[in-house]
């Protein structure tokens, strides 16, 4: 893993130089997920780029990143029941994921493992691998949204009612989308600006494909996100927490690329 991470960092540096309870509503909103996919695509290895061309010949990781949320309106049992828990994990305060594990119905970790195996399987069909890619990109993004490592008491902040910029909302929605939307930027603008500020040191620091690390980071951040005054969340809250959200999006993008590069290298 260390050797692979070093190779990834070298490619990324070269690129920089040359250019528990019921599920939370969603992961990052569409803008957030598309940001992670756009960042990730810039750091794919040649093997991953070839796989992307085969699986998404007319698409992109930005487009793939939102598929798992968009399909939640599909009335099939798969999308309404089976896949519903795959967007989050539950880790009570003071615990780590390895202590609690996944519930019987599964979670983001069991789904990530399942779809990784499909991507590496010679027996899987093209359609199965395409769905697996869409889920892998989406799940990694979700695991970097701190409230998708929920504490098991408030549906990942969905039950925490707040007033965000004088509008009724909930804490989960604020983190999924409203903080980003408040800046009135497109996902391409966000992606360009966030990519430009990723340094070689950042890439080295963030280069891990261990989902347990991602979850531990999210749970550590999660417990500090609950506002002191839920009825008055505006500029002060944005000032305190938007930098964290931006960094989690950057980290997710780098790690999606690193994870896919590892998956497709091991499959060859």
94 has a pLDDT exceeding 90: yes
**What's the burial of 114, exposed, middle or buried (CB within 10 Å: 0-12/13-18/19+)?**
middle
Q: What is the mean pLDDT of residues 192-214?
A: 97
pLDDT at 26: 60
Is the pTM higher than 0.85? The answer reads yes
CA distance 200 to 12: 8
CA distance 116 to 109: 11
257 has a pLDDT exceeding 70: yes
> What is the β-pairing status of strands 89-90 and 149-150?
parallel
CA distance 87 to 72: 11
Residues above pLDDT 90, as percent of the chain? 88
Q: Among all chains, which residue has been given the structure tokens 């999660």?
A: 222
Looking up residue 183, the CATH number of its domain turns out to be 1.10.575.10
Instruction: Give one DSSP letter per residue of 98-126, joined into a string.
Output: HHH---TT--HHHHHHHHHHHHT-SSS-H
pLDDT at 220: 97
Structure tokens at 164: 């965000």
Q: What is the mean pLDDT of residues 169-180?
A: 96
102 has a pLDDT exceeding 90: yes
pLDDT at 13: 43
pLDDT at 205: 98
* Count of domains forming the chain: 1
Could you read off the pLDDT of 25-84 as tens digits, one per residue? 467 899 999 999 999 999 999 999 999 999 999 999 999 999 999 999 999 999 999 999
The closest alpha carbon to 27, from 69, 75, 60, belongs to 69
Domain extent for 93: 2-154+161-266
Q: What is the mean pLDDT of residues 117-133?
A: 97
């Amino acid at each position: 893993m260390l050797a692979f991470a070093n190779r990834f960092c070298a490619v990324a540096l070269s690129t920089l130089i040359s250019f528990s309870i019921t599920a939370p509503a969603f992961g990052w909103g569409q803008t957030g997920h598309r940001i992670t996919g756009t960042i990730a695509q810039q750091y794919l290895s040649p093997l991953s780029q070839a796989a992307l061309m085969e699986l998404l010949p007319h698409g992109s990781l930005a487009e793939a990143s939102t598929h798992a949320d968009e399909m939640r309106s599909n009335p099939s049992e798969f999308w309404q029941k089976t896949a519903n828990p795959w967007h989050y994990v539950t880790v009570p305060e003071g615990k780590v994921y390895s202590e609690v594990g996944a519930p019987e119905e599964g979670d983001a970790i069991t789904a990530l493992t399942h779809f990784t195996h499909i991507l590496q399987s010679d027996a899987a069909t093209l359609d199965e691998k395409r769905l697996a890619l869409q889920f892998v990109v989406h799940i990694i993004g979700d695991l970097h949204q701190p409230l998708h490592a929920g504490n098991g008491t408030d549906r990942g902040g969905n039950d925490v009612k707040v007033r965000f910029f004088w509008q009724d909302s909930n804490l989960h929605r604020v983190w999924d989308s409203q903080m980003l939307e408040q800046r009135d930027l497109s996902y391409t603008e966000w992606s360009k600006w966030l990519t430009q500020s990723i340094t070689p040191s950042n890439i080295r620091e963030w280069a891990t494909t261990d989902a347990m690390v991602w979850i531990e980071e999210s749970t550590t951040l999660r417990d500090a996100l609950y506002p002191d005054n839920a009825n008055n969340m505006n500029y002060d809250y944005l000032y305190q927490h938007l930098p964290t959200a931006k960094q989690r999006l950057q980290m997710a993008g780098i790690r999606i690329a690193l994870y896919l590069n590892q998956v497709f290298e091991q499959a060859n």
